[in-house]
């Protein structure tokens, strides 16, 4: 699980990764508001944390919920690190195919040819 967490955090920018680490490791209790996260990073301005959480929600990593009559949104994780990696890798692969067309498909095929037997076995398990 730590490997998946580290991989997921590496896909994000430094600040987004720092905040998602707090969420994914349980350093902040869900659901949470901006102030809960800001307590973990007091050197950051409230507006910086708020904007970053909103961007993470826009990207689908966080679910935001607004209660009528309350100003603060409540947030919680919308994806696990593993789900985020799966989603991001599908988007990246589709982007490569859109951008490079058949050349990307050929590159993916060449990469598959170089997989070890263990990797081929894991690939079969993942696609079943």
User: 2-78 belongs to which CATH class?
Assistant: mainly alpha
Q: Name the phi and psi angles at 118, rounded to 5.
A: -65, -40
- Taking the domains of the chain in order of start, what are their residue ranges? 2-78, 82-127
pLDDT number for residue 93: 87
Query: Residue 123 in contact with residue 115, Cβ under 8 Å?
Result: yes
CA distance 80 to 77: 7
pTM score of the predicted model: 0.81
Q: Alpha carbon of 95 to those of 11, 64, 98, 99, 105: distances in Å? A: 15, 27, 5, 6, 12
Q: Which of 9, 13, 38 is nearest to 21 (CA)?
A: 9
Q: What are phi and psi of 75, to 5 degrees?
A: -120, 155
Q: What is the pLDDT of residues 38-93, one digit of tens each?
A: 999 999 999 999 999 999 999 999 999 987 777 789 999 999 999 999 989 888 88
**More confident position, 55 or 122:** 55
């Amino acid at each position: 699980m730590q490997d998946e967490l580290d991989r997921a955090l590496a896909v994000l920018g430094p600040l987004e990764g720092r905040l998602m680490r707090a969420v994914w490791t349980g350093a902040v209790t869900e659901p949470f508001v901006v102030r809960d996260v800001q307590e973990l990073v007091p050197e950051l301005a409230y507006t910086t944390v708020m904007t970053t959480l909103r961007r993470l929600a826009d990207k689908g990593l966080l679910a935001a919920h607004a209660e009528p009559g309350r100003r603060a949104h409540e947030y919680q994780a919308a994806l696990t690190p593993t789900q985020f990696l799966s989603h991001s890798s599908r988007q990246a692969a589709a982007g490569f195919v859109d951008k490079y067309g058949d050349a990307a498909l050929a590159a993916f095929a060449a990469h598959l040819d170089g997989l070890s037997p263990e990797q081929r076995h894991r690939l079969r398990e993942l696609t079943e």
